[in-house]
Homo-oligomer: A and B are copies of this chain.
């Protein structure tokens, strides 16, 4: 058995090395705090060299490693297991280079998303990925291939990662990707690491791609007689290349939750809504607004431009508070099922029906432009045992339905430890086997986040 205190030979600064049982509880869980793990040590490295040395020590002693960004994940990806060493990246939080000629930035993985967004916007540049949780770390965003609101126009985090410096399980440091915009020079190792939730390698540096900052941004709210009518307008919007930055759907009953929570009113009464944002120059936005009017003419009940700042703010506050509105009343399980765009109405109808049948409240809303349906499954007054068993039964039905519609368990949160069983149930055995082979190609001893890996 390894002597874990030997880590002090690598991290000599006592403030950056904590041993069990002195590790604070928050480091043993995710942001929901429901799942608790066990760790033998918690380190706060400040350099790739330190991360490499810690990995080498763990590898030689077969100790699991749990990389940790800002700990904002919802699926237990940062829950350590079996006496793992937690590698916390909060001190590796610097922007190392901003290259304005090539539109790239090298950053450390602990950089916080909104800090980075603000920094580059101050330089006239723009980092498009914009997941809901702004205090997440860039490393965490990459590890879950985070999506968010602007994905319909700009794509997901994957599309903005040009290179990664990685520490492999055995401590080897390698860089995958480059500052080049095209690459067919050998296998694409970078993309398989993106979204791998810390199971393949530890990210120590990130090269991100930037774009010019859009001049303006304006939102618009369209009301429909039914969710189905709203969703049916989506392919028309996409086909017309209107390129909305955001294209969200919400049902009336969900808006009401937000209205009651914030004590403010939505400016439009309809059964369902599409909420759109456009960005670009004034001419581009005007042209898109005009065309949108044409495209929605026969289907929308009413369209209002949110060019009044206070009005826009109210609408987005309601859209933004939905999870909090639910959580103010009860514990909830957050899902991020994704289905092909055309299947959103079928899926939401199924959710509404399951809500009626099961008596468990389910709030759905999300990204109409990419089929990503966010769902809050609400605990209400259930006892621990009731909540656990009823939730599990309903999750099985929801994931099975999504699978039947050609959908997937997770669009942007990841699997973590929370969704593993459902993942194995809905994923063909050959895919799981191949994922496992690739995992072992990167990490032959399986020490990186073993509990969320691809081994049943």
Give me the interface of A with B, judged by CB distance under 8 Å.
99-103, 124-125, 144-145, 147, 151-152, 155-156, 158-159, 168, 172-176, 178-189, 191-192, 194-197, 199-200, 211-212, 214-215, 235, 238-241, 280-281, 283-284, 286-287, 291, 338-342, 367, 369-372, 406-415, 423, 427-428, 430-432, 434-435, 437-442, 454
Contacts and interface: CB of A to CB of B under 8 A. Distances in A.
Contact of A431 (B124, B186, B215, B240): B186
20 contacts: A100-B239, A102-B342, A156-B182, A158-B191, A174-B430, A178-B406, A180-B338, A182-B371, A183-B338, A183-B410, A184-B413, A186-B431, A186-B432, A186-B435, A187-B195, A187-B200, A188-B195, A284-B284, A438-B438, A438-B441
Given A235-B101, A239-B212, A281-B287, A188 B194 contact: yes
Contact of A283 (B101, B287, B341, B371): B287
A441 B437 contact: yes
Contact of A144 (B175, B184, B339, B367): B184
Chain copies in complex = 2
Contacts of A414: 184
B102 A189 contact: no
A198 B175 CA distance: 24
B212 A124 contact: no
Contact of A214 (B186, B241, B439): B241
B184 A192 contact: no
B423 A186 contact: yes
B431 A189 contact: yes
A151 B182 contact: yes
A317 to B, nearest CB: 25
A227 to B, nearest CB: 15
B189 A435 contact: yes
Contacts of A441: 434, 437-438, 440-441
B174 A434 contact: yes
B124 A371 contact: no
B341 A411 contact: no
Contacts of A235: 100-103
A186 B287 contact: no
Nearest to A339: B180
Given A187-B439, A437-B442, A438-B438, A411 B180 contact: yes
B185 A341 contact: no
A184 B195 CA distance: 6
A176 B414 CA distance: 17
A408 B185 contact: yes
A182 B412 contact: yes
